[in-house]
Structure 1
Amino acid sequence: MDEVLVVVGPGVVADAALIGEVAEREFAALGVAGSVVHARDAARVAALLRPCAVVLPGPEPAVRELIGRPLGPLVWVDVERADGVEAGEEATHLHGRGVAGLAWGIRHAAHRLRHPGRRRVPYGPHRDQWGELYLPAAPAAAPPPVVALVHGGYWRSIWAADLMEALCADLTARGLAVWNLEYRRPDLHGWPATCEDVAAGLAALAGCGEPVDLGRLAVAGHSAGAQLALRAAADGAPMALAVSLAGVLDLVEATERWVSAGAVAAALGGPHEARPGRSAAAHAAALGGVRAPRPERYAAASPLLRLPLGVPQLVVQGTADDLDLLDVGRRYARAALRAGDEVTYLEMPGDHFDVITPRTPIWRAAAEAVTAAL
């Protein structure tokens, strides 16, 4: 049985019992053996390190200095936001997800233990410009179809490609190759960098050096990643299928409704326009202090405004999700059909993360639809 060790460094601001409860719940759900050890100092943390250990480093400088060392495939988890931290070679740094970040760290560690054969391919010089390629275990007579995954997280850098790792395992078990794409997020790098990276990351598949069938490529995005995936389709990225999993597909209305605390205006660098009766400055202030309206960015970025996309689409939406996402999923599917696109709308019970959780009925139905389409 796989084993995951959780090391809690000195000074971590979190209830020790809660850390234990979160860890035990994840160990059981993943079917791994695991234990939690609280270390009193940096020397004890260093002594406990082993491949795929999950470490909550805490604030002590001597412990944090270990993060950048080449100590192997460790998973460092800061419960607070900690931008700009660079983990050592093979290591991962997750941050800003609160105590729940520990759950994601354990999942990432277990995934790395179970899927060592994935290959990371950079498509640019920045540490966030890469894709990880997964191939199905069973040999095939012909190159397999490919699903490119674009993670969400409302375009914020605290969320990363580890969100999609469970789907990587599920899809490869179905005989598909998977390209799990990472990209620079706009909160740290600006909206143009994000758009450029998604385009470059998808194009890099052609040079991945593996026999995959790019004529049978699906691009599937979750939440904000769905906006990026469908925008790529509108921009002409070659694909056989575009998939929205709980997608943010109407950026104008999502801005007006303040979805995820103003995430759209923050990502695009401003509101789409000044509301009638308000100055642009007053409207920007109401949307969190962002500056000038960005109508041109909304026109290019909002999938609803880009219809028809010209490629078949699968729109998947859980009924227990944010009601505004349920609303836009329904409205988008109807609008795409009216515009002449080939669209399948799949609505089932499930919340925002059920659509990327392999054991749920809504994901199984979505995966079967993708497999059948390819």
Structure 2
Amino acid sequence: MGEPNVVIVIGPGVAADPGLLRQVAETEWRALGVPGRLVVVGGPTALWDVLTAAGQDETCAVVVLHGPDVAVRPVLSRPGPHAARTVWYDTGLPGPAEVATGSVRMAGRGIWGLAWAVRHAVHRLRHPARRVPYGPAADQWAELRLPDVRGGAPVPVAVLVHGGFWRSIWGADLMDALAIDLAARGYAAWNLEYRRPDQHGWQSTTADVADGFGALTALATGSAPPPAAGPAIEDGPPLDPERIAVVGHSAGGQLAFRLAADAGGVALAVSLAGVLDLAEADRRRLGTGAVAGALGGTREEVPWVYAAADPLTRLPLGVPQLVVQGTGDDLDMIDMSRRYAAAAQAAGDDVVHLERPGDHFDVIDPASPAWQATAAELARRLRP
């Protein structure tokens, strides 16, 4: 298969300035090194014509801003050769919608979400992953990417836990680029999706992270059979259950550190701009009340939930930790990482604290100084 090209389709009724959409699209095309074009359609028939043409080109990744027009909805679930290469995106939150098998639907991230939709469409076409379910719910899965080696010694594993203030508009696609980068560096990447508490409750979230990690360790130890779907694993390297890092970004940093405290078998816990002091983050209304919204109340209302979930109150974790923070992030995030690292060291934990230039999302950009420093520390710990 050749290099991807991208077609972005603007559906009828999309309330967004076309020039701004083009600006976002062209920025991503340049960053990803792919050609692209933007097409505006007036109805479902024209949309289907574009999808049919795209389906004939196996290098074509499709992103559709489908908008609110109900006449377009049946096209989302219509199967065809295009489906496995299509990402459906809505800038708002229109509610659930069925899409064809193989397609992906994203919603609720505003205009900037188009950038993430383009990235995901290109990443999954360039670097396909094996999707492994660990439960029956739609969000109970992980994507496995393996290094390009055959057999040989077991490879270390990075479990990636995405952030997004525990809200359902954000998903595992946030960690696509890191998963690809880690596989290129010789790691197996396990990019974990989970049910978010805004739709399913806090207990579902914590249970899913634990279960998704358990599914990975079962695969690594050989106590579970290799999954049937996706790229072949039989010729890939075995996974090393003694060298597993959990890497969480933002809210995922909290989930990763809680997992490290609760589960055995974690060689290194990594926070990338993580929310590591839940009580203070809630008191400062971080993310417009995201902490209380996720945990079901304030620390005063549900103290037992905070006691189990808050990395700061769980110290010492008893697991080596890496706390990474961008110096251009929100000052409260910088403060939280510094105070957590100091408290963890005082509690006797093995902690490395790194601050590097960059904002909240640069820490998950493979090209950033923050990620380069993180990858070097991962290699020092897991690839001696």
Q: Does 1:243 align with 2:270?
A: yes
- Which blocks of at least 5 consecutive residues in structure 1 are unaligned? 274-292
Match of 2:381 in 1: 373
Normalised by the length of structure 2, the TM-score is 0.90
Match of 1:167 in 2: 178
Match of 1:296 in 2: 304
Match of 1:276 in 2: none
Q: Could you tell me how far apart the structure 2 residues matched to 1:83 and 1:355 are?
A: 31
For 1:19, the aligned partner's letter is L
Given the alignment, which residue of 299, 304, 312 partners 1:272?
299
Given the alignment, which residue of 331, 343, 362 partners 1:354?
362
Matches within 5 A, 1:254-333: 254-273=281-300, 293-333=301-341
Deviation of 1:140 (Å):
5.4
Given the alignment, which residue of 343, 352, 368 partners 1:335?
343
Match of 2:93 in 1: 81
Deviations 1:125-163, CA, capped at 9 Å, x for gaps: 011000000000133521210000000000000000000
Q: Which is worse superposed, 151-160 or 141-150? A: 141-150
Given the alignment, which residue of 257, 264, 269 partners 1:230?
257
Q: Which aligned segments of 4 or more residues in structure 1 are displaced greater than 3 angstroms?
A: none
Match of 1:153 in 2: 164
Structure 1 contact 241–313 (Cα < 8 Å) conserved: yes
Match of 2:33 in 1: 31
Q: Could you tell me how far apart the structure 2 residues matched to 1:236 and 1:21 are?
A: 45
Q: SS at the partner of 1:53?
A: strand
Q: SS at the partner of 1:220?
A: strand
Q: Could you tell me how far apart the structure 1 residues matched to 2:264 and 2:278 are?
A: 20
Structure 1 contact 58–64 (Cα < 8 Å) conserved: no
Given the alignment, which residue of 180, 183, 186 partners 2:194?
183
Deviations 1:70-111, CA, capped at 9 Å, x for gaps: 342210000002342332211111110001111111000110
Q: Could you tell me how far apart the structure 2 residues matched to 1:206 and 1:234 are?
A: 16
Match of 1:199 in 2: 210
Structure 2 contact 166–196 (Cα < 8 Å) conserved: yes
Q: Could you tell me how far apart the structure 1 residues matched to 2:24 and 2:333 are?
A: 28
Q: SS at the partner of 2:157?
A: strand
Q: Could you tell me how far apart the structure 2 residues matched to 1:112 and 1:172 are?
A: 14
For 2:339, the aligned partner's letter is R
Deviation of 1:353 (Å):
0.2
Q: SS at the partner of 2:137?
A: coil
Structure 2 contact 68–94 (Cα < 8 Å) conserved: no
Match of 1:123 in 2: 134
CA gap of 1:213–1:269, structure 2 versus 1, over 3 A, is same
Q: Does 1:217 align with 2:244?
A: yes
Deviation of 1:6 (Å):
0.4
Q: Could you tell me how far apart the structure 2 residues matched to 1:88 and 1:184 are?
A: 21
Q: SS at the partner of 2:323?
A: strand
Q: Could you tell me how far apart the structure 1 residues matched to 2:95 and 2:340 are?
A: 35
Q: SS at the partner of 1:65?
A: helix
Match of 1:17 in 2: 19
Q: Aligned residues: percent identity?
A: 57
Deviations 1:2-56, CA, capped at 9 Å, x for gaps: 2011011011000011111111111011000100000111011111113530000
How much is the aligned-residue C-alpha RMSD, in angstroms? 1.1
- Which blocks of at least 5 consecutive residues in structure 2 are unaligned? 56-60, 220-225, 227-232
Q: Could you tell me how far apart the structure 1 residues matched to 2:351 and 2:95 are?
A: 39
Q: SS at the partner of 2:332?
A: helix
Match of 2:124 in 1: 112
For 1:315, the aligned partner's letter is V
Deviations 1:319-338, CA, capped at 9 Å, x for gaps: 11111110010000011011
Deviation of 1:112 (Å):
1.3
Structure 1 contact 199–237 (Cα < 8 Å) conserved: no
Q: Does 1:4 align with 2:6?
A: yes
Match of 2:72 in 1: 63
Structure 2 contact 326–359 (Cα < 8 Å) conserved: yes
Deviation of 1:60 (Å):
1.3
Q: Could you tell me how far apart the structure 1 residues matched to 2:147 and 2:360 are?
A: 27
Normalised by the length of structure 1, the TM-score is 0.93
For 2:66, the aligned partner's letter is P
Q: Could you tell me how far apart the structure 2 residues matched to 1:346 and 1:373 are?
A: 15
Q: Which is worse superposed, 93-102 or 208-217? A: 208-217
Deviations 1:282-320, CA, capped at 9 Å, x for gaps: xxxxxxxxxxx1100000000000001111000001111
Q: Could you tell me how far apart the structure 1 residues matched to 2:95 and 2:349 are?
A: 40
